[in-house]
């Protein structure tokens, strides 16, 4: 959600009531969404107004339709208003559910012994449609050919039509070792090969917990079993194939997520931060390359940027000591403030909110040793001199260094991050440039990063990454929030304004450093006072006391007193003026006349403060230093 805070309960909109089923937004207008509930109930819902049009298919004759608790639903790839829906028949609508046609015969076993739920149930009948059997539970229309449709049932039927439903072929008997009457909850058709399909089968309702996944590359002529109990430790519920790297498969099972980098020849259990929960459905979000998981009872999960998994296909990067695997596109976004509750109670649901920074995926080999960090090696050839200078000297262990370069090769940001784990590591660049240090009572450590400054402008940036003497790089695209319209003039005005404010902070910091340096000099004199004659020592102590008092008064021109109790903010000190000016430059867009008044006031306040410093240092401080320099400190006595 593009606002402050986490994802919370009221971010979710219920579009239809039921026990949780498929929903499908119209491809060209996601304001309108199909949503179902048990027994084949189906509505076309306007998410904005709430208008819900009931569009469940009817049979034109006196035939009872059998809809599964989770009936099959699929959008037509060739018609924005086209929809396939499954009972024991395949129903098709070309007008968003206003009218329906039946394009298949009964594609199930039509076993009447499995159709007696309305007359059974023991002492209390429980016929909620969850008990419906001999039904269609998956429909997969081809995106290559409108005549090709795949169908799976809950009683061991895998049906295929090549002529739009005029004729059907049951392929289930061709699946090696497939259990009799197995359920086919999902059919995944390849997005790159019109002949290729993946079929999920499970049979756990019959106490068969084995993993069944099948693959064909010749339109169902031949099949091979891709998942069995030798590598996958849970029955299969879903599968999806990556269109960019077709060898990359994601498998949803009863015990979590499995990944294959070789189209099912081998499987790897993925459990980093993801619980071993049944994954009922998966999709790859194509705009952001995220893997989206719908689970059974443990929420909705997103694995951001599957770029590192794509890297595993065809090249074993795990042998490398260090490399940059991928970086996600980043967005300069404006986020709203909190919606509803800002301070959440303990019982509030708080989901992770994806940010818009550049997420950089790194590989750090746990077995790799530090490389000799020689800046004269070929590794640094062609790199900017400032990068080479940054590489010289000792590096902290478990620290990754980042250098951000713009299109002309200038360094705009340099920062470090500590590595807590090895293997696949993810770190972020917040899209900021190097900032400047403002006035502060604390001295930064010698190797401290500069604080982050203003945001970079949209464009392409090179990220140089270094770890233990190993180096790699990657390009990142920084994009503007598509909801915000900015001209080049607006962007240039933003850049100029932020540079101007940075200059004010830098000038203020240099001025304040004069006070800090003077304090240290007074402290040094105090430490040497004991070497003076008593009469002189007393006079120097009084002078030291007065200098410290004067420096404290000058300090208060910059910022509030230290160690104040409660909340006290002086609106008249320099930092208050500087921070106010910075706030006027925070939004994306050219600042207006009112903002320039704040900038001007901050500049005037800075010059006034510096003038008072000059008065002190040219007067009382000069007299003090002259007197101290005239004294003879006898450190070594006879």
Q: What is the pLDDT of residues 395-448, one digit of tens each?
A: 467 899 999 999 999 999 999 999 988 888 999 999 999 999 999 999 988 889
Give 553's pLDDT tier (boundaries 50, 70, 90). Answer: very high
pLDDT digits (tens, 9 = 90+) for 561-573: 888 888 777 899 9
Residue 265 in this model has a pLDDT that exceeds 80: yes
Question: Is the torsion defined by CA of 611, 616, 621, 623 positive or negative?
Answer: positive
Element (H, E) at 64: none
pLDDT reported for residue 532: 80
Mean pLDDT of 495-506: 91
pLDDT digits (tens, 9 = 90+) for 186-215: 999 999 999 999 999 999 999 999 999 999
Mean pLDDT of 615-636: 89
Give percent above pLDDT 90 in the chain.
68
Give 374's pLDDT tier (boundaries 50, 70, 90). Answer: very low
Give 389's pLDDT tier (boundaries 50, 70, 90). Answer: very low
What distance in Å separates the CA atoms of residue 616 and residue 598, rounded to the nearest whole number?
27
What distance in Å separates the CA atoms of residue 298 and residue 313, rounded to the nearest whole number?
30
Exposure pattern of 202-219 as b/e (b: 16+ CB <10 Å)? bbbeeeeebbbbbbbeeb
Judge whether 322 and 334 are in contact, CB under 8 Å. Answer: no
Mean pLDDT of 507-520: 96
Nearest to 68 by CA among 271, 166, 192, 205: 205
Residue 373 in this model has a pLDDT that exceeds 60: no
Q: Tokens for 407, please give them.
A: 């299109």
pLDDT reported for residue 379: 46
Residue 476 in this model has a pLDDT that exceeds 80: yes
Judge whether 233 and 207 are in contact, CB under 8 Å. Answer: no
Give 312's pLDDT tier (boundaries 50, 70, 90). Answer: confident
Question: What's the pTM?
Answer: 0.85
* 60-64, 354-358, 378-382, range with the lowest pLDDT: 378-382
pLDDT digits (tens, 9 = 90+) for 42-60: 999 999 999 999 999 999 9
Mean pLDDT of 334-351: 81
Mean pLDDT of 114-142: 86
What does DSSP say about strands 330-332 and 470-480: parallel, antiparallel, or unpaired?
parallel
Mean pLDDT of 91-108: 98
């Amino acid at each position: 959600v593009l606002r402050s805070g986490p994802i919370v309960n009221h971010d979710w909109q219920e579009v239809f009531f039921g026990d949780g089923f498929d929903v499908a937004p119209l491809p060209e207008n996601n304001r309108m969404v199909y949503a179902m509930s048990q027994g084949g109930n189906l509505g076309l819902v306007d998410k904005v107004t709430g208008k819900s049009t009931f569009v469940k298919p009817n049979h034109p004759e006196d035939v009872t339709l059998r809809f599964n608790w989770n009936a099959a639903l699929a959008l037509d790839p060739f018609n924005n208003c086209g929809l396939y829906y499954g009972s024991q028949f395949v129903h098709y609508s070309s007008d968003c559910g206003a009218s329906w046609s039946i394009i298949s015969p009964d594609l199930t076993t039509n076993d009447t012994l499995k159709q007696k739920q309305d007359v059974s149930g023991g002492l209390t009948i429980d016929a909620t449609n969850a008990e419906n059997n001999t039904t269609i539970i998956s429909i997969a229309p081809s995106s290559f050919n409108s005549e090709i449709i795949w169908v799976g049932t809950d009683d061991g039927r895998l049906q295929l039509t090549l002529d739009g439903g005029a004729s059907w072929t049951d392929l289930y008997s061709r699946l090696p070792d497939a259990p009799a009457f197995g359920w086919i909850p999902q059919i995944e058709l390849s997005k790159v090969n019109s002949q290729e399909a993946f079929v999920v089968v499970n049979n756990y309702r019959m106490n068969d917990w084995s993993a069944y996944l099948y693959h064909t590359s010749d339109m169902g002529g031949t099949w091979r079993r891709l998942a069995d109990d030798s590598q996958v430790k849970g029955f299969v519920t879903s599968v999806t194939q990556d269109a960019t790297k077709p060898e990359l498969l994601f498998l949803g099972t009863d015990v979590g997520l499995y990944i294959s980098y070789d189209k099912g020849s081998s499987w790897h259990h993925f459990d980093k931060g993801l619980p071993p929960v049944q994954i009922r459905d998966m999709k790859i979000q194509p705009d952001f390359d995220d893997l989206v998981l719908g689970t059974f009872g443990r929420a909705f999960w997103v694995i951001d940027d599957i770029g590192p998994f794509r890297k595993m296909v065809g090249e074993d990067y795990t042998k490398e000591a260090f490399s940059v695997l991928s970086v996600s596109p980043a967005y300069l976004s404006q986020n709203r403030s909190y919606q509803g509750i800002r301070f959440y109670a303990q019982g509030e649901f708080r989901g992770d909110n994806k940010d818009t920074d550049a997420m950089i995926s790194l590989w750090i080999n746990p077995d790799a040793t530090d490389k000799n960090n020689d800046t004269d090696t070929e590794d640094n050839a062609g790199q900017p001199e400032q990068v080479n200078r940054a590489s010289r000297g000792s590096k902290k262990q478990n620290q990754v260094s980042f250098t951000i370069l713009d299109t002309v090769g200038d360094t705009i940001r340099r920062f470090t991050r500590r590595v807590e784990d090895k293997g696949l590591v993810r770190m972020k660049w917040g899209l900021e440039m190097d900032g400047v240090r403002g006035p502060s009572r604390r001295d930064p450590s010698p190797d401290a990063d500069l604080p982050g400054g203003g945001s970079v402008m949209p464009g392409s940036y090179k990220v140089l990454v270094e770890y233990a003497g190993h180096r790699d790089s990657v390009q990142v695209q920084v994009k503007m929030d598509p909801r915000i319209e900015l001209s080049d003039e607006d962007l240039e005005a933003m850049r100029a304004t932020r540079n101007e404010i940075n200059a004010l902070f830098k000038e203020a910091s240099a001025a304040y450093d004069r006070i800090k340096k003077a304090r240290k000099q007074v402290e040094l004199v105090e430490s040497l006072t004991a070497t003076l004659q008593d009469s002189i020592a007393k006079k120097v102590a009084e002078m030291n006391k007065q200098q410290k008092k004067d420096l404290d008064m000058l300090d208060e021109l910059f910022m509030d007193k230290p160690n104040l109790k409660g909340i006290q903010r002086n609106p008249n000190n320099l930092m208050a003026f500087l921070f106010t000016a910075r706030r006027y430059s925070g939004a994306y867009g050219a600042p207006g006349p009112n903002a320039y008044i704040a900038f001007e006031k901050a500049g005037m306040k800075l010059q006034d403060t510096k003038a008072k410093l000059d008065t002190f240092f040219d007067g009382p401080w000069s007299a003090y230093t002259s007197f101290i320099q005239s004294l003879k400190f006898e450190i070594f006595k006879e």
